[in-house]
C-alpha cells in the first residue's frame, strides 16, 4: 500500500494539528498499515481517529478546530483505502 503525494500532504497537514500523543499514535498506526500490519489492535488508522473522536465526545480534550481536523484526517485516511 502506498499513498499518493497529495494524500501524504493532506494527512500530514491535519496530523500536525493534533496533540503530540495523538500524532504519535496515528502516525505509528499509519506506518504499520502501509506495511500491511496492525498497530495497537487497529487494522486501519481511521479507526484510531474514530476512537479518539468517541473519547473526545465523552469528555472533550481537543479544541473545536482540532476536533474538525481530526474528522478531516479520518476522511482522508478512509479515502487512502481506495488507492
Q: What is the pTM of this model?
A: 0.86
Task: Give the per-residue pLDDT at 59.
Answer: 96
Cell of residue 72, nine digits? 478531516
Task: Give the per-residue pLDDT at 79.
Answer: 82
Cell of residue 41, nine digits? 489492535
What is the share, in percent, of the chain residues with pLDDT greater than 90?
A: 58
| Domain membership of residue 59 as a residue range | 5-81
Helix, strand, coil shares of the chain as percentages rounded to 5? Answer: 70, 0, 30
Nearest Cα neighbor of 77 from 59, 55, 1 is 1
pLDDT tens-digit series, residues 11-50: 999 999 999 999 999 999 999 988 888 877 778 899 999 9
Counted domains in the chain = 1
User: Residues with Cβ < 8 Å from 82, sequence gap 6 or more?
Assistant: none
Dihedral sign from CA coordinates of 8, 10, 11, 12: positive
Task: Give the per-residue pLDDT at 2.
Answer: 77
Would you place residue 81 in the very low, low, confident or very high pLDDT band (cuts 50, 70, 90)?
low
Contact 44, 80 (CB under 8 A): no
Amino acid at each position: 500500500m502506498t499513498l499518493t503525494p497529495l494524500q501524504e500532504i493532506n494527512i500530514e497537514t491535519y496530523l500536525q494539528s493534533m496533540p503530540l500523543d495523538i500524532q504519535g499514535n496515528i502516525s505509528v498506526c499509519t506506518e504499520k498499515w502501509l506495511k500491511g500490519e496492525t498497530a495497537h489492535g487497529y487494522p486501519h488508522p481511521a479507526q484510531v481517529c474514530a476512537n479518539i473522536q468517541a473519547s473526545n465526545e465523552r469528555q472533550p480534550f481537543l479544541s473545536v478546530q482540532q476536533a474538525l481536523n481530526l474528522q478531516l484526517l479520518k476522511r482522508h485516511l478512509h479515502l487512502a483505502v481506495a488507492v
